[in-house]
Amino acid sequence: MKKRIKQTTFYALLFASFQLMLSNCGSPTDPSANVDWTNYGGDKESTRYSPLNQINKENVKNLKVAWTYRTGDADTAKNRSQIQCQPIVVNGVLYASSPMKKFFALEGATGKQIWLFDPLKEISEGEYAWAGTNRGLTYWESGNDKRILLTVGAYLFALNAQTGEVIRSFGTNGKVDLHEDLDYDKKDFFIVSNTPAIVYKNLLIMGMRLSEGADAAPGHVRAYDIRTGKRTWIFHTIPHPGELGYDTWEDKEAYKKVGGANNWAGMSLDEKRGIVFVPTGSAAADFYGGNRKGANLFANCLIALNAATGERIWHFQTVHHDIWDKDLPANPNLVTVTKNGKKIEAVAQITKHGLIFLFDRETGEPIFPIEEIPVPPSDLAGEQAHPTQPVPTLPEPFVRQVFTEDEITNISPESHDYVKAIWQTTKTGQRFIPPSKQGTIIFPGFDGGGEWGGAAFDKETGVFYLNANEMPWILKIIDIEQYDQLDFAKMGKGVYTQNCAACHGENREGNTGGNYPSLIDLKKKYKQAEVLKFINNGKGMMPAFKHISDNEKEALVSFLLEIEGKQEVVKKEISDKKQKVRRAETPYTTTGYNRFFDQNGYPAVRPPWGTLNAVDLSSGKILWKVPLGEFEELSKQGIAPTGTENYGGAIVTKGGLLFIGASKDEKFRAFDKENGNILWETQLPAGGYATPCTYSVSGKQYVVIAAGGGKMGTKSGDSYVAFALE
């Protein structure tokens, strides 16, 4: 009898051990030897979901650093560099990029470098200088042909995924210039592509980032043959004559001279149906549309295209005639919702203004009603704001929608009074108040609501997760004075106002929040030749200004360095005295992108300032909302965690977890996806302003995040940090 009990106990323990082993290795149906993260957003549906559960709610507290890879090229002296890249992992190999846009492959289990690609070996420094940030890479394979597709500035490269060598048969000697094949007469315009393209069969479908001023190129969407680099189709986001949407532009020549309406946030793909979902940004210029009157299709649209041909299937415009820079900020999520007991395969699109638009994937029919609400008119001469804007009845907004007096910060009486004095001088208190010379509060701000980090969708539970900013910004419109090119001093200031003030401020003071530095006392840092080089080639986040004349560049340099009189930086006379008066392409510019802070640098609205949210897409209701991030100095004063401004998104796992960095306090956290409780957190070497990824190699699960910092005035870093259970 005792022997039988012992045998029973033995088999019970054995069975329990086997169950534990399964739970630690992932679901029995998962390929636990290698579970990859193959696309920007995890999969082509952009769910940011992983079936791995080796790391789970019970053991996440035991996470340790498994490896760290340092790129060695951060701009730590001036804290201007960033890493926004979400790595992809294919067959246990991790692919990512550095702050200076070098690209590499690592062993996923060890972080050991396999290869490194430096674009400066393929393009000149001048072309490379404004490469912008990079948010990821794209993988494609057919048999033994395995490729990495990536972009640096305006160039698309194809690399051998195993060696990192350029594939010379692609494009022209291995690269494609994205200025070409755009169905646009001009070639000398600013263009970069910093968000990964998406693959459909042998096609690479691409968007791009453009200038946001009146000099912008059109943001047409293109597909390229991955083997050859040749363009196979194009969709005109600013319609040509005879195309759908052409009549939504009052100026029938708009397609020749108006730019923007571009996809910079990435795309998602329903591979089974062959539909690619493309979100677009505003038409240019951002804050004045007098040169582009009308609703402006296909700006600010979610567009469903036939992935094989580029033909439009359906579209929905989320903002008509955008004058607030309310670009669709992230690739949409392909989701499944239940309505009236029926499962519907849908697509969810988040917005900067804190809304979720939800549509049937095939038909474009809204899952919940969308209302056109009346909005205020513009008081700017020449502007015609659209009279209504679309607002979904559900899902519920995931951020506050208006900045009323009740929303003024309450962290201290002094902060409240300081903010109220400024608040009273601005236009606020309604949705969609147009930009004004008085000053308009944009709430939520230019950086969300939702942002480029994107949302995550739990395929098992149907819950939708996203982080958000609740930050007011102040937009003030100023006149652009025409200037006489023969009056050198006035020309310098005029060139600055037209081209630089929107970022660096009306008086060169920079912007609040640290994204655009002050240019006051620039003469103490740089010589004339250096500043001219920056203007010609760009530097860091600053684009090149090739569209202005040599004389204008000379005048601008003299203005920035406070040099009296005409300087012979560029020896060129004005060729046509009859055209001495420079006419601006739009009559207005802005005082810059300025966050609305109190006297101590905290957001002007009452907390929370950054949140993590869970939404039931089937009911449209918010399940929970928690602060994301903390100011320790405020917590020590007894103020509850406020959340912080945040960049980069969350991922969700079968293990019951949400992983996210993003917050200004430079921490990386794991949240319980059921209730938003923090289960684990760690300090990163620099801010994790990128979306993480998770994968397994030989049955061991890893979570990796880029710690590049550099945003919101925080220090820059150069690390990728991998975490795993010991």
3-state secondary structure 397-429: CCCCCCCCHHHECCCCHHHHHHHHHHHCCCECC
pLDDT tier for residue 580 given thresholds of 50, 70 and 90: very low
With CA atoms as reference, report the closest residue to 69 among 85, 58, 80: 85
Q: CB neighbours (10 Å) of residue 710?
A: 28
C-beta of residue 285 within 8 angstroms of C-beta of residue 317: no
Q: What is the mean pLDDT of residues 428-437?
A: 97
Q: What is the mean pLDDT of residues 205-217?
A: 92
* pLDDT greater than 90 at residue 17: no
Rounded Cα gap, residues 478 and 503, in angstroms: 13
Q: What is the pLDDT of residue 485?
A: 61
Give the DSSP H/E element, type plus range, for residue 678.
strand 678-683
Q: What is the pLDDT of residue 20?
A: 37
Taking only the tens place, the pLDDT of each residue in 524-548 is: 888 888 888 888 777 766 777 777 8
Helix (H, G, I), strand (E, B) or coil at 559: helix
Rounded Cα gap, residues 584 and 362, in angstroms: 44
Rounded Cα gap, residues 445 and 594, in angstroms: 9
pLDDT tier for residue 21 given thresholds of 50, 70 and 90: very low
C-beta of residue 315 within 8 angstroms of C-beta of residue 309: no
| Residue 366 dihedral angles phi and psi, to the nearest 5° | -65, 140
pLDDT tier for residue 484 given thresholds of 50, 70 and 90: low
Q: DSSP alpha helices (H): ranges in 625-676?
A: 632-635
Rounded Cα gap, residues 72 and 422, in angstroms: 43
With CA atoms as reference, report the closest residue to 548 among 592, 497, 506, 593: 497
C-beta of residue 267 within 8 angstroms of C-beta of residue 198: yes
Q: What is the mean pLDDT of residues 12-22?
A: 39
| Residue 535 dihedral angles phi and psi, to the nearest 5° | -65, -40
* pLDDT greater than 70 at residue 628: yes
* pLDDT greater than 80 at residue 398: yes
Provide the residue ranges of all domains of the chain, joining segments of one domain with +: 2-30, 481-583
Q: In what order do the strands lie in the sheet with 473-475?
A: 440-442, 473-475, 594-595
C-beta of residue 384 within 8 angstroms of C-beta of residue 369: no
Taking only the tens place, the pLDDT of each residue in 656-670 is: 999 999 999 999 999
C-beta of residue 397 within 8 angstroms of C-beta of residue 355: yes
Q: What is the mean pLDDT of residues 79-101?
A: 95
DSSP 569: T
Q: What is the pTM of this model?
A: 0.90
* pLDDT greater than 50 at residue 14: no
Query: Pairing state of beta strands 651-653 and 49-50?
Result: parallel
- State yes or no: cis peptide before 285, omega within 30 of 0: yes
- Secondary structure (DSSP) of 315-343: EEESSSS--S-----S--EEEEEEETTEE
Least confident of 221-235, 308-322, 477-491: 477-491
State which amino acid sits at residue 234. I
Q: At what angle do helices 550-560 and 528-537 cross, to 10 degrees?
A: 130
Q: What is the pLDDT of residue 305?
A: 99
Q: What is the mean pLDDT of residues 634-640?
A: 97
DSSP 579: G
Rounded Cα gap, residues 149 and 65, in angstroms: 29
Q: What is the pLDDT of residue 23?
A: 38
Tell me what the pLDDT averaged over the chain comes to: 90
C-beta of residue 445 within 8 angstroms of C-beta of residue 451: no
Taking only the tens place, the pLDDT of each residue in 273-332 is: 999 999 999 999 999 999 999 999 999 999 999 999 999 999 999 999 999 999 999 999
Rounded Cα gap, residues 215 and 224, in angstroms: 26
* pLDDT greater than 80 at residue 344: yes
Mention every residue, 6+ apart, whose C-beta is less than 8 A from residue 74: 81, 99, 686, 708, 709, 710, 716, 717, 718
Give the DSSP H/E element, type plus range, for residue 371.
strand 370-374
Q: What is the pLDDT of residue 130?
A: 60
CA 151, distance to chain mean position in Å, is 15
Q: What is the pLDDT of residue 504?
A: 87
Residue 510, token pair as written in the block:
């920079």
Residue 188, token pair as written in the block:
């000398």
Contacts by 547-555 with C-beta closer than 8 Å and gap 24+? 547/188, 547/189, 547/215, 548/495, 548/499, 551/485, 551/491, 552/485, 552/491, 552/495, 552/582, 553/495, 555/488, 555/489, 555/491, 555/492, 555/495
Least confident of 26-35, 512-521, 576-585: 576-585
List C-alpha distances in Å: 155 to 31, 149, 693: 36, 11, 26
Helix (H, G, I), strand (E, B) or coil at 59: coil
In sequence order, the β-bridge partners of residue 652 are 49, 658
Selected residue with higher pLDDT from 52 and 485: 52
Rounded Cα gap, residues 456 and 348, in angstroms: 10
Q: What is the pLDDT of residue 455?
A: 98
Taking only the tens place, the pLDDT of each residue in 189-208 is: 889 999 999 999 999 999 99
State which amino acid sits at residue 626. V
List C-alpha distances in Å: 345 to 96, 224, 328, 520: 31, 28, 21, 54
Rounded Cα gap, residues 600 and 655, in angstroms: 40
Asked if the 481-583 domain carries CATH number 3.40.50.970, the reply is no
Q: What is the mean pLDDT of residues 597-622?
A: 98
Rounded Cα gap, residues 503 and 508, in angstroms: 9
* pLDDT greater than 90 at residue 342: yes
C-beta of residue 104 within 8 angstroms of C-beta of residue 110: no
Q: What is the pLDDT of residue 112?
A: 98
Give the DSSP H/E element, type plus range, for residue 672.
strand 667-672
Q: What is the mean pLDDT of residues 227-238?
A: 98
Rounded Cα gap, residues 420 and 409, in angstroms: 9
CA 609, distance to chain mean position in Å, is 19
With CA atoms as reference, report the closest residue to 692 among 641, 643, 726, 653: 653
Q: In what order do the strands lie in the sheet with 49-50?
A: 49-50, 651-653, 657-660, 667-672, 678-683
Give the DSSP H/E element, type plus range, for residue 497.
helix 488-499
Residue 267, token pair as written in the block:
């795309």
Q: What is the pLDDT of residue 25?
A: 41
Q: CB neighbours (10 Å) of residue 274?
A: 15
DSSP 61: G
Q: What is the mean pLDDT of residues 158-164?
A: 98
Most distant CA pair in the chain: distance in Å? 112
* pLDDT greater than 80 at residue 396: yes
Q: What percent of the chain has pLDDT over 90?
A: 76
* pLDDT greater than 60 at residue 389: yes
Query: To the nearest 10°, the Cα dihedral for 270, 646, 650, 657?
Result: -160
Rounded Cα gap, residues 354 and 374, in angstroms: 18
Q: What is the pLDDT of residue 5?
A: 37
Selected residue with higher pLDDT from 471 and 125: 471
With CA atoms as reference, report the closest residue to 543 among 131, 56, 51: 131
Q: What is the mean pLDDT of residues 714-720?
A: 97
